[in-house]
Chain A
Amino acid sequence: MLLHIALQEGFHHDDVRLSVDAWEALANGDLTTRRQTGYAGSVNVDVTRSPVVVEVALSKRKVTQSKSIPVDRPTYVGLSLTAEGGLVWKISHEPFGYL
């Protein structure tokens, strides 16, 4: 089943590591949001069980969070950083669009 994880607003030269059930799905040492689209990067993972634990680690900000996410149908996870540096998770069953 498709699990799409998008890194969206607020990233600025961030060192990002994403893992799904402890498997490293994305590692980027210098990730920056393109502000005209609000998009920084994404990864598609084919998962075979539900729920899965998605963990995101932002080493420069010393932020690590994980969340259990049901993936019983195509699932889209958006991760954004607030102006204060907080991590916001958005879970959808529709693909994200950027403009």
Chain B
Amino acid sequence: MKEQEHIDQEYLVEAAEGARSGVEPLIPILPWPPRVRVSGLYVASRIVTPPIAAPGPLPIQPIPLSQPPPGIVPTSAAPWHIEEILPWGLLREELRLDVDGRYPQMMVSGTLYGVLAKRVHWIARLTAAGPNAWTGSIWFKDGDVAGFPYTAVDITTTATLLSSQRKAVVRLSGGGTSVRTRTLAFKSPYFRQVEFEFDCATGVTATTHIGTHDHPNRPATLPNETLTIEEVYRRVGFEVRKSGSDSIVPIADAGTNARWSDNEMHDAMQVYWSRFAGKAQWSLWVFFAKLHEQGTSLGGIMFDDIGPNHRQGTAIFNDSFISTPPAGDAQPAAWVERMRFWTACHEMGHSFNLAHSWQKQHPPDWGTPWIPLANEPEARSFMNYPYNVSGGQTAFFSDFAYRFSDNELVFMRHAPERFVQMGNADWFDHHGFEQASASPEPSLTLNLRVDRPQATYQFLEPVVLELKLTNIGRRPLVLERELLSMTDHMTVIVKKRDKPARQYLPFARYCHDQQAQVVMPGECVTDSLFISVGRNGWDIAEPGYYTIQIALHMETEDIVSDALTIRVAPPRGYDEEFIAQDFFSDDVGRILNFDGSVILRRGNDTLREVNDRFSDRAVATHARIALAAPLAKDYKVLDMGDRMGEMASAKEAGGRLRRSAPRIEEARQLYTSALLEKKEQAIATLGRTDYEYYLGRFRAALVEHGAVLKKEPRDIKRDAKREKSGDIEHTMRVIKEALSSLKDQEPVSS
């Protein structure tokens, strides 16, 4: 009943707004027949009793919609089939349809909650396809996306005034799989729920509502109403509730100076917020006080970037500059009330993980740059500073409709819950959220893999991913041969659980000759990516779970990979913990990344220690490869003499290139130990691609230093073909033959 009342109110507001364009009539003109608002939350759920043996989804026969249930009037002519229950393994399905009502964004997002905490979140942009039908492309996916290949969505809603009978039929298609059709029941005109609690310091009054016409500087079309903070967020799409426990915080809690520090407010939040809990929840504490310890220059702050659950508390300071109206303002008291109200909505926006309007684009070291937004420096949004726009605060409020920008609305309504919900993602983590320019019908798919049954890594073990780019279209594609090794075409995100995401920045970018290759339908190209360490330092080091995702930026579209979650195991003992201090250094990172160095001596010492003391561990394989590579060839070193390390040109320092002679016997032992003695372990930790590459380097080093490969001319062509196709067994036979030939010769000197 309450929902229906709200819908009726919204309908009247929309009708009144529709009539406002121009001279207002004396008698309101309402459209007829009345439009039924369909935006809101739709759900389907079931109680699942997992079967004893669950080989996969149980086949569910679709039910033809030959006779629609009473009250349901499908408006699409398409002969859709509707499954009335969810498949095995799926606990709950949500749909947020955003096509009408306040500030419609023509978006739809869905979340599928499965067993074992599996979850998929998707978002699509919609266009109308009929009176109650919409169609669109999915441009965002998050979660366990491997089982969600769909790229397009069609939605049809029922046209009934009875919300209990309102339904949405959702048809997902594309991605090379069969069409998936579901019916979801209307649950709420709101997309999400949130709860606010407003507490005040002693002697402070909270400004939680204003009269929109109290100040004369306003848009001419702004409705005259009493607007509350709750209503602002209802218009965002939240079902807002109050905790019912608004209270007074004694001033003594601010210490002797009566100004509040962030820590004092955090302490007060724990004591006075009736809902405080160390967990993510859709609940927010709003505190009204006089001054922050920073003084009058701070009008408010989302102070809660403390501890593990950020964004739960925010504060407004009534005695700060927000209470100083401009000189000569026509209604100074109303100006102050409006500014306090605006500030409260603004600071609360930060708690929903919204950045300032000019902070949407930023360098990666600020935080998660996932897929960045454009800055909105002139936005008439709660998240902009009124005095920063052209024309200052007068210009801002003359055109401000007490709302958030469209991008901000999309974020709060449709972004994955964990990005937005208080206490979930860290402040500023994932705030930059926008569509990738992904094609609705991609011709390529990018998969991240590891060469092991479970993606678990030993402590200290570097992570090497296998990238696989597959042509899933129907036509041959011409791709650059080195596409997957050109990391400047990629955005690589590494996110440790409960930590902000980081962008992996490789130590070096490589410039390749542009050589094309044809990839036929169904064919793939592969490459490896050494991802543990880069210019940001060690992105993967501490024990825990990490999620990795890559966007490959092609000329006309972005190919976004599935997300791969890996686990780094805890250290095996004190020795591993101890050496970690030296191992997770920039030197070791560079040596491993560039396959060796003769200059970075401390790093090499660490790797030798790893090889000696942890010879049975996977990290030793990487150490051996990195130590072997520079020993296996003539190595040129720029000798700067006594001025090594100074910022001086080689000419100034009298630098000269010095040759470091190969030490092939040491290299042979290290390569043999790394690549031949425990082949499966080596493939698992290096990845198949890199394993083949290092085998090739080993063979080349042996041949260069005297090994003889007995080969008949007729075998040469066949062998080349085998090597090209990655025949590891063949390459190993060749190496063993080469090693055998060396044994027959004099010992190889260094």
**Chain B residues in 8 Å Cβ range of A96:** 297
B309 CB to closest chain A CB, in angstroms?
16
**Chain B residues in 8 Å Cβ range of A12:** 363, 365-366
Of B297, B305, B355, B362, which contacts A98 at CB under 8 A? Answer: B297
Task: Provide a sorted-by-A list of 27 A–B residue pairs whose CB atoms are within 8 angstroms.
Answer: A9-B359, A10-B362, A10-B363, A12-B363, A12-B365, A35-B356, A35-B366, A35-B428, A36-B303, A36-B350, A37-B298, A37-B301, A39-B294, A83-B363, A95-B297, A97-B297, A97-B298, A97-B321, A97-B385, A98-B294, A98-B297, A98-B298, A98-B299, A99-B299, A99-B343, A99-B346, A99-B385
How many angstroms between the C-alpha atoms of A95 and B207 in the bound complex?
Answer: 24
**Chain A residues in 8 Å Cβ range of B294:** 39, 98
B359, closest chain A residue (CB): A35
Asked if B623 lies at the interface with its beta carbon under 8 angstroms from chain A, I say no
> A99 and B300 in contact (CB under 8 A), knowing A12-B365, A35-B428?
yes
Size category of the B interface is 20 to 34
**Chain A residues in 8 Å Cβ range of B299:** 97-99
**Chain A residues in 8 Å Cβ range of B321:** 95, 97
How many angstroms between the C-alpha atoms of A39 and B346 in the bound complex?
Answer: 16
Of B296, B361, B427, which contacts A36 at CB under 8 A? Answer: B427
Total residues of chain A contacting the partner, CB 8 A: 15
**Segment 19-43 of A: residues with Cβ below 8 Å from B:** 35-39
**Chain B residues in 8 Å Cβ range of A39:** 294, 297-298
**Segment 38-76 of A: residues with Cβ below 8 Å from B:** 38-39
How many angstroms between the C-alpha atoms of A37 and B298 in the bound complex?
Answer: 8
Binding site for A on B (CB under 8 A): 294, 296-303, 305, 320-322, 343, 346-347, 350, 355-356, 358-359, 361-363, 365-367, 385, 387, 427-428
How many angstroms between the C-alpha atoms of A12 and B427 in the bound complex?
Answer: 16
A90, closest chain B residue (CB): B388
**Chain A residues in 8 Å Cβ range of B356:** 35, 38
Of B296, B305, B347, B361, which contacts A83 at CB under 8 A? Answer: B361
A61 CB to closest chain B CB, in angstroms?
11
Q: Say what secondary structure dominates the interface of chain A.
A: loop
How many angstroms between the C-alpha atoms of A35 and B346 in the bound complex?
Answer: 14
**Chain B residues in 8 Å Cβ range of A38:** 356, 359
A36 and B366 contact, CB distance less than 8 A: no
> A35 and B387 in contact (CB under 8 A), knowing A95-B297, A97-B299, A97-B320?
no
B363 and A36 contact, CB distance less than 8 A: no
**Chain A residues in 8 Å Cβ range of B428:** 35
Closest CB pairs A-B (n = 7): A97-B321, A99-B299, A36-B302, A36-B350, A98-B298, A12-B365, A99-B300
**Chain B residues in 8 Å Cβ range of A97:** 297-299, 320-322, 385, 387
A92, closest chain B residue (CB): B387
How many angstroms between the C-alpha atoms of A83 and B374 in the bound complex?
Answer: 12
How many angstroms between the C-alpha atoms of A10 and B366 in the bound complex?
Answer: 8
B314, closest chain A residue (CB): A36
**Chain A residues in 8 Å Cβ range of B320:** 97
A58 CB to closest chain B CB, in angstroms?
14
**Chain A residues in 8 Å Cβ range of B343:** 99
How many angstroms between the C-alpha atoms of A83 and B343 in the bound complex?
Answer: 26
B141 CB to closest chain A CB, in angstroms?
27
A35, closest chain B residue (CB): B428
B365, closest chain A residue (CB): A12
How many angstroms between the C-alpha atoms of A10 and B359 in the bound complex?
Answer: 9
A93 CB to closest chain B CB, in angstroms?
12
